[in-house]
Amino acid sequence: MGYLVLDPKTMSWATSTSAKTWALCAIRVGGRASSQANARLVAEAVKAEAARNGITTIILVAYSKGLPDTLHALQTLQASGELPGSVKAVVSLSGVFPGTPIADQLAYYYDKLVAPIEPLGCPASQGGEVQSLAISVRTP
């Protein structure tokens, strides 16, 4: 039998069984930020988690735009030689892996018409969030 508990102050999940304990951590990224900007946040969180005592396995779970953000972070860490050996897997939930043609077609209009708007209390666009989902950007 296991239990899953969320600490709303830290947004950390913990689950435990009699044999093992797992810690689940949410990485807060900008919903209206580019993959490059969010990748910096993901990379720092991965390095910080890997540096914690006793961490031997990190499995990243990425949803939607979180997948390109996460992949960009891992590519950056690998290129700099800082990718922790404890990173074992990435799990995608509806991830935008190869990009989307909508971003290729509409990024310009989004940047001009929608980006300056702050709907429902969301912060203003940091720029590049739609463009970072374009097929022309996601596929080499």
pLDDT digits (tens, 9 = 90+) for 96-111: 888 888 888 988 888 8
Of residues 66 and 121, more confidence is placed in: 66
Q: Distance between CA 24 and CA 43 in Å, rounded?
A: 16
Specify the amino acid at residue 57.
T
Specify the amino acid at residue 91.
V
pLDDT category at 73 given cuts 50, 70, 90 is: very high
Percent of the chain with pLDDT over 70: 84
Would you state the pLDDT for residue 31? 82
The answer to whether residue 18 scores a pLDDT higher than 80 is: no
Token pair recorded at residue 80: 């700099």
Q: Where are the domains of the chain?
A: 3-98
Is the separation of the CB atoms in 135 and 103 below 8 Å? yes
List CB contacts of 140: < 8 A, sequence separation 6 or more.
Answer: none
**Cα angle, residue 8 at apex, residues 7 and 11 outer, rounded to 5°:** 75
